[in-house]
C-alpha cells in the first residue's frame, strides 16, 4: 500500500508527545502521553483520487459501501434523519424541526444514501467524500449532489448548513482539528454538527485491549483506514480547540438505529455474544459508540 504519511502532533491537546505502543503492518499505534488520545503516527493523508478508491477497496469492511442502495436502506436513512432532526430541534429551537426545510451536509457521505434520504424529506442536501468511485456510483444511481473533494478544499458556503453529520468519519481523519474548525465555519447560526464514532473509552474496547495486551486496532479496525480513536474527553478537547462547543454527549450501543449505519447495525445484531457487554457498557456510560452534538462558539 503506497500512501503519503506525515508525522502529526496530538489533535486533542496539541502536544507532540506521541508514545508508541505497537506496530501493525508498518503503521505505529500509540497515544499522546499528555492527554491519552490514541492515534496512528505518522498518519496517512489520503487524497480524493482513484488511488484512494483502490486502497479503500482493500479494507474488507468497506465492501458494503459499494452495495446497491435499496429501498430498505433509504427508509432506514430517512427514519434516522427524522430522529436526528428532532434532536436538532430540541438542542437548537431556532432551526427547522423534523418537518422543516433543513440545509444538510453529509461529510463522508459514501455513495450518498443519507443525501438521497434527506432530499426525499424535502431538505437541501449535499454530500462530500474523497472516494471518487463511491461518489460516481451515488451520483449515477441516486441523482444527488455529491462532491469528491477534501472538505478543507470544498469551497462550500460559510454558514450554509443547519445540520452537518459526520457519522463514522472523524476516526478516519489525519487532521480532525482542522476539519472540525471547518465544520464550525460551515454551520449556520443555530446550526448543529453531529459526530458519531467508536468510543475508545467503551467497555467493549477496554475489554479487548486488556485481553490482547497490546493495541492492534484503532477505533475497532486496523490502521490506516482509521487513524484516531477518541473517547469523550479527547474528542471534546479536540472540538474545543477547533472552536466548537459540545451541547450533548452520550455513549450508546452499535445497535442504536438513531446513529449507526444500517450495515453496522446488521453486523452488530448478528453478534449476540457481545450484546450483554454493549448493554452493560451503555448503562455504565461506557457505550461502544460515542455521540456528540456540537455548535460553533
Residue with cell 450501543: 253
Asked if residues 69 and 114 have their Cβ atoms less than 8 Å apart, the reply is no
What pLDDT sits at residue 99? 63
Q: What is the pTM of this model?
A: 0.95
Q: Is 70 exposed, middle or buried, given 0-12, 13-18 or 19+ CB atoms closer than 10 A? A: exposed
To which residue does cell 434520504 refer? 117
C-alpha 143/C-alpha 122 separation (Å) is 14
The reported pLDDT for the residue numbered 142 is 97
DSSP string, 187-198: EEEEEEEEEEEE
Q: What is the pLDDT of residue 293?
A: 98
- Say which CATH architecture domain 46-296 belongs to: 3-Layer(aba) Sandwich (3.40)
**Pairing status of strand 124-129 against strand 27-32:** unpaired
The grid cell for 292 is: 456528540
Distance from C-alpha of 125 to C-alpha of 164, rounded to nearest angstrom: 10
- Spans of the chain below 50 pLDDT: none
Domain residue ranges in the chain:
46-296
Predicted local distance difference test score (pLDDT) of residue 265: 85
Positive or negative CA dihedral for 221, 215, 45, 254?
Answer: positive
Amino acid at each position: 500500500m503506497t500512501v503519503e504519511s506525515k508525522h502529526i502532533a496530538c489533535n486533542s491537546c496539541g502536544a507532540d508527545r506521541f508514545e508508541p505502543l505497537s506496530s501493525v503492518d508498518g503503521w505505529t499505534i500509540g497515544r499522546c502521553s499528555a492527554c491519552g488520545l490514541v492515534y496512528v503516527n505518522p498518519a496517512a493523508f489520503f487524497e480524493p483520487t482513484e488511488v484512494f478508491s483502490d486502497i479503500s477497496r482493500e479494507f474488507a469492511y468497506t465492501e458494503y459501501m459499494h452495495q446497491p442502495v435499496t429501498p430498505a436502506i433509504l427508509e432506514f436513512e430517512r427514519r434516522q434523519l427524522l430522529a436526528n432532526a428532532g434532536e436538532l430541534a430540541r438542542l437548537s429551537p431556532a432551526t427547522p424541526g423534523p418537518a422543516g426545510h433543513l440545509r444538510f451536509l453529509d461529510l463522508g457521505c459514501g455513495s450518498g444514501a443519507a443525501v438521497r434520504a434527506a432530499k426525499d424529506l424535502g431538505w437541501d442536501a449535499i454530500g462530500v467524500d474523497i472516494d471518487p468511485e463511491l461518489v460516481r456510483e451515488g451520483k449515477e444511481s441516486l441523482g444527488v449532489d455529491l462532491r469528491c473533494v477534501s472538505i478543507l478544499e470544498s469551497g462550500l458556503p460559510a454558514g450554509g448548513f443547519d445540520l452537518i453529520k459526520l457519522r463514522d468519519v472523524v476516526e478516519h481523519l489525519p487532521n480532525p482539528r482542522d476539519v472540525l474548525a471547518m465544520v464550525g465555519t460551515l454551520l449556520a447560526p443555530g446550526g448543529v454538527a453531529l459526530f458519531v464514532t467508536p468510543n475508545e473509552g467503551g467497555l467493549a474496547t477496554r475489554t479487548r485491549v486488556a485481553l490482547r495486551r497490546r493495541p492492534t486496532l484503532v477505533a475497532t479496525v486496523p490502521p490506516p483506514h482509521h487513524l484516531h480513536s477518541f473517547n469523550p474527553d479527547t474528542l471534546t478537547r479536540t472540538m474545543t480547540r477547533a472552536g466548537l462547543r459540545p451541547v450533548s454527549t452520550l455513549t450508546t450501543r452499535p445497535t442504536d438505529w438513531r446513529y449507526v449505519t444500517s450495515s453496522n447495525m446488521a453486523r452488530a445484531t448478528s453478534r449476540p455474544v457481545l450484546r450483554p457487554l454493549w448493554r452493560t457498557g451503555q448503562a455504565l456510560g461506557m457505550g461502544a459508540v460515542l455521540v456528540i452534538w456540537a455548535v460553533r462558539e
